[in-house]
Chains A and B, each alone.
Chain A
């Protein structure tokens, strides 16, 4: 087949089934054993599913909701919908019924394919108000035996139906696939929306294939690569890495047993291609550090000694830069004794290319992984740009940039400092929202990312903050809240931070402690606590956090432009910020405006000089019930540094 005809995902699937029928396409761990489907089996499964959907009345242009963890059949459902000219709409599996309902109605969805009973229950609830939903089809039948509703059915039954249809009309699906055009919308992803209602981002086959082809070429991905797919299917990154790139290069996608088993499954699969947001890398490192602290003195000593060596020269060894002979010998020894086993425990022994994105990654964190020999890189992109704008090149890695524009992408900086992008991997439109589309794509075809950034001397892009979040302090100094928050979050004891300072005379912050790290720290010191709220208000914990904030202040003081952004006062929140309470987005970004409004009393207290403030907050539990958390929050002052003496103090 010529390159030109491989312009839709169903055609890519057919090609892999023809070229490498026996090559593993997807695996899933079931009952403790990895089950494998090769490309020819996947092709047959998708065919049965697509024919079955058609038999149920799924038509060209219909949308198909897909909700659940990463499961092979849910990925097949995406291709099946595309075969019929339909549009898969994956949604976040932890979204509550109300959030799903919005998307169901906005996208006019008639068909939903979901993982299990939990999702079926949510959709049945939705259906009461969205009667347009005609079919709810599930993958895992557990607990669903007694569901007698006619609109609930199993995927097994659908595939059975499809096989019958395929037998009687063998060329039906091939004709459908032949009708597909590269300009058709391949997928619709709803943006998590830090502001306003979510918008459906329509991405064509053409755009997603461009992004996938570019990425595969850039990192030389082949059919022999392996990826572990554990990030939400509703997120553009999973679509690019686990779906589009896999169908482009033909590599194997591995679905973990459950969300909790990812670390174990990582070790068993040993992926060569890995993606994780900084948060995951941070959690892994925290786990490692906790276990090292619990290890014997010899092991602990050895670990720290060789980690010092790695810090000194690890990144250079990885980048192939010259390193002193003594260090090289020590690094080789360390590789045998510490780094190798550590990579193995992390399941990263075979990782050739690892990416992180979504949020800024701490310099210590980034350096840690690179120094033990994991080729961790950063990339930049968004749902609208198919997560494909900038990538870091092997060997040219910087801590604070996101790399150079990817092949086929044009990036320019607007007068305002906003990053503008133009490429072949660009979304088509926001579904039914021409006003919003016109707002973000200008007449010249540039997409306005909403991020503020600039190119450094090497031509690498550096992102500082969301353009709309960048403000000014009362004295006119620039104020980039994300930058400050990230500095704070880089401390393992701080999980989340929210800074305030726009048009104010000083910067203050809310802190969420990391219950795992601080809890462990407290146990080690025999500080008893009953839970998050209790632990957060311990004077010892405040002292610990104050120390971190002071360090961050010392670093901020070094930069003349950001010296005024040092944190003067802070408090530790009585509860963890939570997407269920709308304080974070589903991708765990702080909803700044919402938080500021909700905790207005606390902000006033920060700026009024009070030593403490009482607060009561309603919280939503996972099952939808609500409860109340209240506490008297302490507010503490932090030492700040004048720009000149900062070096000494740090």
Chain B
């Protein structure tokens, strides 16, 4: 091994030049088999499926662009996109709220911080289906808490779970609530990156807490807020669990409330229309791809990794 140390003096970035042989295959093989079978192949298969039609008992035939043509004429598609957009926009409204709570939770020397964390982060570990069932009770027309509170101020509450627009609003409110923990965690990481000196300087200049929040915290947090907005939008477009569990498949309002992913599920696994469902999946890919592209474009400007 002595020649190796001698070589180090000549070439500083000494990499171990040692034949790794078949070892990379041993290490990577098990994962790659699964990745190829469950991820690489399915991407290809979905593209092929999108040009195919499936018989009721299996068997596929090529049908050219017929599935794509169906996408353009299907009246459920624009409605599903609209529903998904409305849901996403309402969930995005949670971000200012998350900024406030994150900045309160991340104050240095805050007492009971661990206790507050439990309160605020509990929804992040809870099964969406299970919390959806609870919220369904809270939004119940006859005996739900929300309508009871509304009746206290003289308003007759709507059918939150079975009326088209109201059910979308109810699902969105639950989505907002469920999205807060992760938002607060991501913003917390951004907040801890703000140098304490800035606050001291602001304090010396006579800025009060509110002024500090708007002049120091918010501007320096914009990178995190942007990043969070993209993630929230992408997650919002994946709406399925909450909708499925809060409304139930037999809900008469589902046709007017369904999200793009629900439409995909129903075409693929209930109508057995896998060719068309593949086109919907590709549409979801395109929309989310657009968000991802936006993120990459913008992150050059505003994200810096330590």
Q: Answer yes or no: do A and B interact.
A: no
Residues of B within 8 A of A (CB): none
